[in-house]
Structure 1
Amino acid sequence: MARIGNETVTLADFDRDFRQAVARVVNGQGAPFEESLLEEFAPARADYLKQYVRERATYQLARVANKPDAAALDAQVAQARAGFPTDAAFAEALGQRGYASEADFRAALERQTVVRAYLDTLQKRFTFGDSVVSGFYNLNRASFDRPGEACVKHILVATKAEADAVTAQLAAGGDFAKIAQEKSQDPGSAAAGGDLGCINSGDTVAAFDQASFNGPLNVPQTVQTEFGWHVLIVTKRTPAGLLPLAEAAPLIRQQLAGDAAQKYLDAQIARLAPQSFPAVVTVAAPAAAPAPAPTTAPSQP
């Protein structure tokens, strides 16, 4: 099906990884993996082959530089299994993520760990001096123009009376995160203690935006929107403008090192001269088995 350096990759290898790739897509949409989805995604097999061959080549290079830690992998698998009441429940959860067995799950963890360590090491090889960084900054100033930003946490309730009660609790020394977890009706932030992270101007509805970018810092504000009543606190605010070179420099170095590492990786993969045969993976998916014949005659209308 494919040959990468001295390694032959079988159709079974590809099918296993394609199954897991399909699962990642549907899991990302909040749905569990089901076998029937393989037929639905079959037209994508040829395109995925290109990505798969590159990933296998990267893994082959990574194995030379980074040996897997068997004990650490065993611990990761054991930790994952400990989150389920029974082995059967764990196996079912693995199946919903596209893993046919615990061995497949462990193998995927091993590949991810080895490749991540290899890519991190690769990127650290490339360093850039101040003159290169400042030159990049001056040539790309527009990309460092930042909008205004506010870091906000909030508690959403249905009525003003509830909002006033929350404000009173905070004034009495109540813990914002705990109150948010107990009372906030925003499921997206309640579990995080009401934290919304940092938002840009215009990201939220007008009243919330106004309070976030014009209200006081670190003081509870009560705001009504179409969603209800918010008790919000702005913890940090950054004005719009050009990101200073001192703050941009780490980002620039990371980008330059990433680009250099990518070019190096491309060259190393090319040396392996990977070959693949798309026709092998584009065979039609097997048809579903016919339904068994009924054992009794269907009733007449």
Structure 2
Amino acid sequence: MHRMLLTLALAATTALAQTAPQTPAAPTAPADPNTVVARVGDETITLGEYERQYRIYVGRIVNQQGVPFSEDVLSFFAQYRTDILNQLVRSRGLVQLANAAGLQSDATKVDATIAENKQEFGSDEEFTDALQQSGYPDEAAFRQAVTEGLLTGAFVDSLRERFKFGPAVLRAYYVTHKADYTKTAQACVKHILVADEAAAKTVRDRLAGGEEFAKIASEVSQDPGSKDEGGDLGCFEQGQTVPEFDQAAFTGPLNTLQQVTTQFGVHVLQVSQRTSGGVASFEEAEPDIRNTLANLAAEKYLDAKLKGVKIETFADVVAAPAAPTDPAAPAQPKQP
């Protein structure tokens, strides 16, 4: 139903096509997984470790586009292997800076985060399958990512708290960045999509009888994009849905059931909120400005601190994907 979802899907497909080479890179000769590809302080990163992280990075990228990870997609990102190495090096540098600042990983939070993720799946097998579709070889790799993510996140948050800005600085930023705080009119809507008016009448009768909107939506709505969200479409701008639905969303009464027929079927909908467009006031924008300036200051601070970490990268080693090594052959450490 939702043209916005269709637009996003098309944009994701286009972005994926634009960011990936059109032909996979040719396989290279087997490479030693113990080859050093980077040094960050006293820590070395081997080719084998890089390849594992490369899979995870690629998995994250394709998952954001709604595509599950598979071995087939790896070669399409070969031109970004050096960029991914640089991201990995920066991440390791941040972990070292966090440790140097006296921060340590919190095992309790790591366990809680992993447990929370597992709760979204019916079994350990489903969880493992989901990890693999995200590029993680196993739960241990996911645990490492969670550990490092929580640690560096806490470190960055601690830095952001250091930076405070007075009213003059905040207002000056607002004046020079007003375009960033221009709001568009939006409507917040929930709906239940059914096949015909008879089914819509049944939905309305159930609502009149006191049943919850979300419960009915999860049971009968034919919109897969909002069914599991209790029919909630969130808030969207005018023009992002088909005309009939758009008109009801932006001109119909608030907090009142409406019924509209579109090319997708019959919608029983309710508009919970509308916001007008225009430039946000300084008071409305101030919290976001504080957050933006703190992020910029923290980023500059980290860039300066990372310059003090001895970093070496050997991009030529990761420029092309490594072919699988013979597991029966012992690997010998090798320095570039």
So what's the TM-score if we normalise by structure 2? 0.78
CA offset at residue 209 of structure 1?
Answer: 1.1
The superposition leaves residues 42-96 of structure 1 with CA deviations (integer Å, 9 ceiling, x where unpaired) of 3321221122222221222123332012243344445555766776665444333
1:236 to 252, 273, 277: 273
Partner of 1:13: 49
Residues 90/151 of structure 1: CA separation in 2 closer, same or farther (3 Å cut): closer
Q: Which amino acid aligns with 2:224?
A: P
Partner of 1:279: 316
Partner of 1:22: 58
Partner of 2:240: 203
CA offset at residue 253 of structure 1?
Answer: 0.8
Partner of 2:202: 165
- In the alignment, structure 1 segments of 5+ residues that lack a partner are 290-301
Partner of 1:265: 302
| Higher relative contact order (CA closer than 8 Å, sequence separation 6+) | 2
Aligned length: 289
Q: Aligned equivalents of 2:206 and 2:311: distance in 1?
A: 64
Q: Which amino acid aligns with 1:109?
A: V
CA offset at residue 267 of structure 1?
Answer: 0.6
1:216 to 221, 246, 253: 253
CA contact (8 A) 1:154 1:180 kept: yes
CA contact (8 A) 2:189 2:269 kept: yes
1:175 to 212, 228, 231: 212
CA contact (8 A) 2:184 2:278 kept: yes
CA offset at residue 261 of structure 1?
Answer: 0.9
Partner of 2:263: 226
Partner of 2:173: 136
SS of structure 1 residue aligned to 2:170? helix
CA contact (8 A) 2:81 2:320 kept: no
The superposition leaves residues 137-166 of structure 1 with CA deviations (integer Å, 9 ceiling, x where unpaired) of 222223222111111111111112222222
SS of structure 2 residue aligned to 1:263? helix
CA contact (8 A) 2:196 2:266 kept: yes
Choose 1 or 2 for highest CA Rg. Answer: 1
CA contact (8 A) 1:39 1:285 kept: no
Residues 186/92 of structure 1: CA separation in 2 closer, same or farther (3 Å cut): closer
SS of structure 2 residue aligned to 1:41? helix
In the alignment, structure 1 residue 255 sits paired with structure 2 residue 292: yes
In the alignment, structure 1 residue 245 sits paired with structure 2 residue 282: yes
The superposition leaves residues 249-293 of structure 1 with CA deviations (integer Å, 9 ceiling, x where unpaired) of 11111111111111111111111142211011124532799xxxx
Q: Does 22-31 or 42-51 show the bigger shift?
A: 22-31
Q: Aligned equivalents of 1:189 and 1:39: distance in 2?
A: 34
CA offset at residue 171 of structure 1?
Answer: 2.5
In the alignment, structure 1 residue 107 sits paired with structure 2 residue 144: yes
Q: Does 252-261 or 26-35 show the bigger shift?
A: 26-35
Residues 154/287 of structure 1: CA separation in 2 closer, same or farther (3 Å cut): same
Residues 117/211 of structure 1: CA separation in 2 closer, same or farther (3 Å cut): same
Q: Aligned equivalents of 2:47 and 2:174: distance in 1?
A: 47
In the alignment, structure 1 residue 59 sits paired with structure 2 residue 95: yes
So what's the TM-score if we normalise by structure 1? 0.86
CA contact (8 A) 1:42 1:285 kept: no
Residues 54/186 of structure 1: CA separation in 2 closer, same or farther (3 Å cut): same
Partner of 2:4: none
CA contact (8 A) 1:221 1:233 kept: yes
- In the alignment, structure 2 segments of 5+ residues that lack a partner are 1-36, 327-336
Residues 90-129 of structure 1 aligned to structure 2 (within 5 Å):
90-129=127-166
Partner of 2:82: 46
Identity of aligned residues (%): 47
